[in-house]
Amino acid sequence: MKQTLKIIKQAKEEGRKALLEPEAKLICIEYGIPVTKFKVAANEKEAAEYADEIGYPVVLKIVSPEIIHKSDAGAVMINLQNASDVSEAYRKILENVKKYNANARIVGVLVQEMAPQSTETIVGAIKDPQFGQTIMFGLGGIFVELLKDVSFRIAPITADDAKEMITQLKAYPLLKGFRNSPPADIDALVSILLNTSRLVMDNPEIKELDLNPVLAYQKGAKAVDARIILE
Ligand code: ADP
Ligand code: MG
C-alpha cells in the first residue's frame, strides 16, 4: 500500500488534515474501492482535454485544501455535455470559490466521469476514542440525515458483518428492489465495506472517512466522492 502511505505522509508534512478528493480516491483505488475516473486539470484547456479523454458527460469540482464541502461553495458542476460546457463550468467554479473563500488555495479542477444516477448510499468510518475504527453504512439523503437509518460495526468487519449492516437497515427493501428502483448489487456494497474496513485498520492515523455518495447499481457500485480526515 505504497501510494496510500506516500499520500498520508505528504499531507502530514504539509500540515493538512483533510486529504484532497483525488488523494482520497487514489487511496480507495489502492484498496479496491471503485471510484469515478478522474484527472486533475491545472487550467481551462487541460480541463477540456481531460473531459474529451474521459468521455461525456463529465463533472467538474474544485480541488482545494480549504474547501471540504464542495457543493456548499458552488464548486461542483455536473452533467457537462461538451468542451464548451466544461470551459464555462471551469470559470464559474473558480469564480464561486473566490467568492466563498478568497484565501482558498486552488490545487486544480477535478474532471471526472459522470456516474449514472442510482440509489445513493453512504459508506463511512470513524475512529471512536473507545472502540477504535468503526464502519458505517446507510442510504443517502433523508435516510441518514432525517431518519438516522444507519448501521455501525467495530472494525475489522467480516463479510457476514457487512451483509448484516446492509440488511438491517429499515430502508433495505429499497436496495432489494422496490417499485421503480431495481435491486442493487449487495455483493458490490459488501466488498466496499470490507475494503473500507481494511483501509482504516491498515491506517490508524485516519480519523474519518466518508464515501458520500456511493452509487449502487444492479451490477457494481461506485464512490463518486471521497473524503479522508487525518488525526
Ligand atoms: P461535496 O463535497 O459537496 O460532498 P460531492 O463530490 O459529493 O461534493 O458532489 C455533490 C453531489 O454531486 C454528489 O452528492 C452527487 O449527487 C453529485 N456528483 C458528484 N460527483 C459526481 C459524479 N462523478 N457523477 C455523478 N454525480 C456526481
Ligand atoms: Mg459528497
**pLDDT by residue (tens digit) across 126-153?**
999 999 999 999 998 777 777 789 999 9
Give the pLDDT confidence score for residue 141 in this predicted structure.
Answer: 76
Please give the residue that has the higher pLDDT: either 230 or 178.
230
Atom of ligand 1 nearest to the CA of 115: 24
Mean pLDDT of 72-82: 98
Question: Per-residue confidence at 180, pLDDT binned at 50, 70, 90?
Answer: confident
CA of 173 to the centre of ligand 1 (A): 24
Mean pLDDT of 147-163: 95
pTM score: 0.96
Atom of ligand 1 nearest to the CA of 140: 14
The three cell numbers of residue 121 are 448510499
Pairing mode, strands 221-223 and 206-216: antiparallel
Is residue 207 predicted with pLDDT exceeding 80? Answer: yes
**201 in Cβ contact with 1 (< 8 Å):** no
Report helix, strand or coil for 222: strand
Q: For residue 13, how far is the Cα from the chain centroid?
A: 23
CA of 175 to the centre of ligand 2 (A): 20
The pLDDT tens digits for 56-73 are 999 999 999 999 999 999
**Measured between alpha carbons, how far is 59 from 74 in angstroms, rounded to an integer?**
13
Is residue 181 predicted with pLDDT exceeding 80? Answer: no
Report helix, strand or coil for 157: coil
* Longest CA pairwise span in the chain (Å): 52
**184 in Cβ contact with 207 (< 8 Å):** no
Mean pLDDT of 26-54: 98
Question: Per-residue confidence at 88, pLDDT binned at 50, 70, 90?
Answer: very high
Intra-chain end-to-end CA distance of the chain, in Å: 19
Is residue 28 predicted with pLDDT exceeding 90? Answer: yes
Q: What percent of the chain has pLDDT over 90?
A: 92
Element (H, E) at 111: strand 108-113
If one residue of 71, 72, 214 were mutated to test the ligand 1 pocket, choosing by the most ligand atoms within 8 A of its CB, it would be 71
Mean pLDDT of 184-202: 98
Strand partners, 138: 122, 150
Q: What percent of the chain has pLDDT over 70?
A: 100
Query: Cα torsion for 68, 61, 43, 51, to the nearest 10°?
Result: 150
**112 in Cβ contact with 222 (< 8 Å):** no
**Measured between alpha carbons, how far is 109 from 94 in angstroms, rounded to an integer?**
9
CA of 223 to the centre of ligand 2 (A): 9
Instruction: Provide residues with CB under 6 Å of ligand 1.
Output: 36, 59, 61, 69-71, 76, 78, 112-115, 213, 224-225
Say how many residues make up the chain. Answer: 231
Mean pLDDT of 36-43: 98
**Measured between alpha carbons, how far is 191 from 123 in angstroms, rounded to an integer?**
11
